[in-house]
Structure 1
Amino acid sequence: MTAVLGVVIVLLLLGLVMQHRKSRHHSRQFTYIHDKLDQILSQHSQERLLVFSSSPELQTLLTDVNRLLDLNHEGIARRNKLQKSMRQMLANVSHDLKTPLTVVLGYVETLLQDDDMDAEERERLLRMIHRKAGEVITLMNTFFDLAKLESGDHELPLSRVEAGEVCRRNILAFYDILNAKGMDVAIEIPDEGCYIRGNNEALDRILSNLLSNAIRYGAAGGVLGLKLYSDTNTVNIEIWDRGKGITEDHQDKVFERLYTLEDSRNRVYQGSGLGLTITKRLTEQMNGKISLVSVPFVRTAFTVAFPRLKI
């Protein structure tokens, strides 16, 4: 009986020793996890926690912590990108507002200092001041428009819209400009109606932006095309030209806010770099998508696609 009791005591002691060693091992592991996690967060590094453990509970905890680290890394990347975008935007806004305002101030100083200026020259300068002031107002309104679109507070009222009618109306609005530039026009609009659930004013602005873009940057190609086509589920409007186009490494950037590459087609508004950004936001608010395919001096095409509304 005494021998059995001794064996039991020995086993209990061994169990306590092993439990103590296991507890110390887990304690060291948790200390390492704490220190390593603190280092990763303080240094904003891209590391993940790696701990070898036979404990399923600890492995589950590590998996969850690493998932949170991945989310944190993504958040940091988005924040850094946003901060860079905001700095670039502020620089561009300052430049784009400064340029016409500097011209206005120069004209005003000329008017104030030259008392002997003849009436014709004075009127010319006043007209220039008026035009430049108009550019500033247009630029500011464009920024406000984009701010409203991106805030999510500006919802477009949607109704049944016949896309062919909108296409005809917009291409006719640019007839004089196209004629003056000597550009040929290739129009493909089917006789049967192509209906979408959209907003007439927003669709007008989308097409106006894309047509202006094609004329401004595609005039060298000598032709502008507008094609409306549909399939079972989608109505597509394609506007294309054969101008200098957009190289492949810049095609994914042209819809970014204030993308200001000198060769970018994104500067629909003088100096704003917001034309294609607004176009994309308006398209998305009508449940559509916009895409770009460009081979310089061969064919550059912007296509907006909307869900087809069954008659």
Structure 2
Amino acid sequence: MTGLVTVTLVCLAIIIGLGLTREDRRQLQTSYAQLRNINLVAVDANKLSAQIAELFVAGDQDAEIREARDSLLSGLQRQRDLIREEHALAGEPDATWGGLDRVAQMEIKVQEIDQSRLLIQDHLQAGRRAEALQVFNTRIYHQLGQVLLELVEEATVRERAEVAEALASSSRLSERAVDLAIGLIVVVAVLGVANIVMMNRAILRPVSALYAGAEAVGRGDLTHVIDNPSPDELGNLSRRFNQMTGQIRDQRDSLLQAQSTLSQQVEERTRELRERSEALVASNDRLRSVDASRANFFADISHELRTPLTILRGQAEMAIRTPDADAATLQQVLSEIVRKTDQIGRLIDDLLFLARSESGSIMVNRTRVVLQDIVGDVLLDGQNMAMRPGVRIRPSQPSEPVEVRGDPDRLRQAVLIALDNAIRLAPADTTVSLELAQSQDHAHIRVRDQGPGFTGDELGSAFTRFYSARPSRPRSGRGLGLGLSIAKWIVDQHDGAIRIDSAPGRGAVVEITMPLARRAVA
């Protein structure tokens, strides 16, 4: 009877111990859910910041910004629920924890960010771009990043502490098992003294095995197994002891694995957050660069338009002040006026084309085009271009038709831009070559000149819109960084490529490459 009572008490202690380990597992799962949710909050915060940054590029983004804001607030509410669930598991549902205070601070910060976003929109609508950038950098980018990093760091420290507490609880459970086994050994030993004669061999060996198992568990060896197949109480106790150590071992391994996974997740999320922050900084820099480029472009366009208009006005005033001017003088004045108006018209055409290409309103109608026809039309137009004395245009093309699928008007425009740049930069008594060639799958159009060439910096920015060449290069109505960018847009729409091969002092080669049209099978 005494042995049965002892075994019952031991089993009850084992069940209580296993219940504690299940409680530790639930707390660990809650901690992991909090960390995963706080990383999702970090992602939503970065998304909100990025959507606000899009205001500088794409304009009105109210729907996307509200969606990102609501997602962030939903994540913060989920974080509050997880913290309260954790408090309930810990038996402290009414306690005041720093985690809830931090979530409340973050919700206040989201409202402040929304107010700052409205202020940014007001600045942008009023044309105060610099003030808008200042509000974004000081009130959104820096403050949001600081609060977010503090939240992630606090959550990480707290959850790691909870994992450590769970491991410590498992260790305490092991110690209880050792104490339980030792106490059991003492009880069994006392009973064995009374029955030493009859039950010597039946008790001492199982007790020794239990003692050895308790010592092994005390040393941290949870792989130790007690071999006692007897059906009595000690045999059952040994088997329960083995089950208990196995469960403790599994719980410990699970906790260690969870701790390792938690550390990896924290490191990965922190790296992603850092990369997103760096991407946001790069986006900010690009916004500043585009803003500066547009400012320089408008200054250049004002100069390019004012100069020919000033000349037109001067020519007209000179004709008015000379009422008795002969026909030859008036003819010269009118010719100059026509030339300048043509220059202004070409500049306006380029600006209109640029605006339409950005809005997507330019249609590219593809048909089968023979490139020899395009080259012929460009040569006719090139004869009427202004050029220095002695500049010659030398064409070269194969006799067999070279066909592509494309818009003939747009292709003619792209080739004419390259030829126009070459002619305007070609020194006197030099040759500008216009070559058409064909490889296995592609057609190639090359325009060669013997002009001043391009520097390395100019090559890197030649196709950038609003880019102007160095002051030492001759300027023309197409010297605002529009012509080559328009040509590149046209070639891109035809699945082709355009590149420049040049070096200072040895001229330049502009090459346009496009896929050949597939020939019909007879």
TM-score range (shorter-chain normalised) is: 0.7 to 0.9
1:190 and 2:197 correspond:
no
**Larger displacement relative to structure 2 (4-13 or 154-163):** 4-13
Q: TM-score of the superposition, structure 2-length normalised? A: 0.48
Deviates more, 1:137-146 or 1:2-11: 2-11
Task: Report the counterpart of residue 167 of structure 1 in structure 2.
Answer: 375
Q: Report the Cα distance in structure 1 between the residues aligned to 2:366 and 2:20, rounded to whole angstroms.
A: 78
Pick closer, same or farther for the CA change 1:177–1:105 going to 2, 3 Å. Answer: closer
List per-residue Cα deviations over 1:276-309 (Å, max 9, x = no partner). Answer: 1111112222232111111333341001111112
**Aligned residue in 1 for 2:323:** 118
Question: Contact 1:246 / 1:294 at 8 angstroms: preserved in 2?
Answer: yes
2:12 alignment partner AA: L
Q: What is the aligned residue count? A: 306
Of the three residues 256, 261, 269, the one matched with 1:62 is 269
Q: Are 2:417 and 1:232 equivalent residues in the alignment?
A: no
Gap change, CA 1:9 and 1:34, over 3 Å in 2 = same
Tell me what 1:258 maps to: 466
Give 1:132-147 correspondences, 5 Å limit: 132-147=340-355
Q: Are the aligned partners of 1:235 and 1:308 in contact in 2 as well (CA < 8 Å)?
A: yes
Distance 1:267 1:224 in 2: 18
2:423 maps to which residue? 215
> Based on CA coordinates, which of the two structures has the bigger radius of gyration?
2
Give the drift of 1:259: 1.1
AA at the equivalent of 1:170: V
- Comparing both structures, which one devotes a greater share of its residues to helix? 2
For the residue of structure 2 that corresponds to 1:259, the secondary structure is coil
Deviations 1:58-78 (A, max 9, x none): 469838955766765665455
Larger strand proportion of the pair: 1
> Which runs of no fewer than 5 residues in structure 2 stay unpaired?
1-7, 50-140, 157-258
Matched ranges for 1:276-287 at <5 A: 276-287=484-495
Distance 1:266 1:145 in 2: 23
CA 1:38–1:249 in 2, change beyond 3 Å: closer, same or farther? same
Give the distance between the partners of 1:310 and 1:14, measured in 2 at CA: 72
Which residue pairs with 2:12 in the alignment? 5
CA distance in 2, matches of 1:35, 1:288: 41
Percent identity, please.
23
Question: Is residue 221–residue 243 contact of structure 1 (8 Å, CA) maintained in 2?
Answer: no
Report the counterpart of residue 308 of structure 2 in structure 1: 100
**Kept in 2: contact 1:269–1:275 (CA 8 A):** no
Contact 2:386 2:424 in 1 (8 A): no
Distance 2:320 2:395 in 1: 55
Structure 1 residue 175 displacement after superposition: 4.2
Structural RMSD (CA) = 4.3
The amino acid across from 1:91 in the alignment is A
- In the alignment, is the contact (CA less than 8 A) between 1:188 and 1:228 conserved in 2? yes
Residue 154 (structure 1) shift: 0.9
Distance 1:98 1:9 in 2: 91
Deviation per CA, 1:24-70, whole angstroms, max 9, x where unpaired? Answer: 6875786699689969952398xx99979623994698389557667
Deviates more, 1:198-207 or 1:130-139: 130-139
What is the one-letter code of the residue matched to 2:431? V
What secondary structure is seen at the aligned counterpart in 1 of 2:460? coil
Shift of the 185–136 alpha-carbon distance from structure 1 to 2, 3 Å rule, reads: closer
Q: Is the deviation greater in 62-71 or in 164-173?
A: 62-71
Q: CA deviation at 1:197?
A: 1.4
Q: CA deviation at 1:144?
A: 0.5
Paired residue type of 2:411: L
Is 1:90 the equivalent of 2:298?
Answer: yes
Rounded Cα–Cα distance in structure 1 between residues aligned with 2:30 and 2:387:
85
Taking the aligned partners of 2:43 and 2:32, their CA distance within structure 1 comes to: 16
Range 166-175 or range 57-66, more displaced: 57-66
Alpha carbons of 1:100 and 1:271: their partners in 2 closer, same or farther (altered >3 Å)?
Answer: farther
Residue aligning to 1:205: 413
| Alpha-carbon offset, residue 230 of structure 1 | 0.5
- From the superposition, tell whether residues 263 and 284 of structure 1 become closer, same or farther in structure 2 (CA, over 3 Å): farther
| Greater RCO, 1 or 2 (C-alpha within 8 Å, sep 6+) | 1
Cα distance in 2 for partners of 1:8, 1:198 equals 80
1:77-111: CA deviations, max 9, x gaps?
55444333333333323332333344455667x57
Give, as a single letter, the amino acid of the residue that structure 2 aligns with 1:288.
G
The answer to whether the 8 Å contact 1:246/1:265 transfers is no
Distance (whole Å) between structure 2 residues aligned to residue 165 and residue 131 of structure 1: 28
In 1, the alpha carbon distance for the partners of 2:502 and 2:354 equals 26
Report how far residue 157 of structure 1 moved: 1.8
Q: Equivalents in 1 of 2:358, 2:371: separation in Å?
A: 25
Q: Give the match's secondary structure for 1:187.
A: strand
Aligned CA distance change for structure 1 residues 34 and 310 (closer, same or farther; 3 Å):
closer
